[in-house]
Amino acid sequence: MKTILAYVSTLDGKVTKWFDPHVKTWSSQEDKNYFKKLWNDNRIVIMGSTTYDVEPIKPLPTHQLYIMTKEPEKYKSMEVPGQLEFLNETPANLIKRFAKEKHEHILIAGGAHISTSFLKEHLIDELWLTIEPKIFGTGGSFVTDEKLDINLQLLSYERINKRGTLLAKYSVIKTKIGEYS
């Protein structure tokens, strides 16, 4: 099973424009198309409640969307078992559960806290990043302010528009099973 962390970022590493959480207001149409395909290709998607609150996603019978939150009871009325669930579970327990179900891919699609927690627990296999040719100076990062030391190996890159938007895919280098180098 492969766990993929996907993000869109500016050249200066910002995932929000001046802390406006709406990525769709500044990302290219090509990135939006790419993310839609990525979403459709991955049946299990995990995100944080902050990301979900910015743009709630309707349940789909073709997907299992898991929203990680410290307050799952707050979202109880929105749950659709097997399609949209709100969990207060550790990343390791969640991945262990999906591994038993023999899923091919899991997509981590948002939230600096979620990304950081999966990275800290050595649960990310690949990072897929769209790099937009923009500089915001101020904005959010795709990880929180934590001490991380993770090495990556470029798998592929592709220019997807005339402005120079790039899709880059990296594998996380691991020294032992489950540990980053």
Q: 158-170: string of b/e by CB count within 10 Å (b at 16+)? A: eebeeeebebbbb
Residue 179, pLDDT above cutoff 80:
no
Mean pLDDT check: name the lowest of 4-13, 48-57, 82-91: 48-57
Question: Which has the higher per-residue pLDDT, 110 or 120?
Answer: 120
Q: Mean of the pLDDT values across residues 125-130?
A: 97
DSSP-based three-state secondary structure for 70? coil
Q: Does residue 174 contact residue 122 with C-beta atoms inside 8 Å? A: yes
Structure confidence at residue 28 (pLDDT): 97
Nearest alpha carbon to residue 135 among 11, 6, 29: 11
Residue with the bigger pLDDT between 161 and 105: it is 161
pLDDT interval class at 103 (50, 70, 90): confident
Given its phi and psi angles, is residue 122 left (phi above 0), alpha (psi -120 to 50 degrees) or beta?
A: left
Res. 176: pLDDT tops 80: no
| pTM, rounded to two decimals | 0.92
HSE (side-chain half, CA atoms, 13 Å) at 41: 11
> What pLDDT score does 101 carry?
82
174, amino acid identity: K
Domain 2-180 grouped into CATH 3.40.430.10: yes
Confidence band of 78 (pLDDT split at 50, 70, 90): very high
Please name the residue that has the structure tokens 């990043």: 129
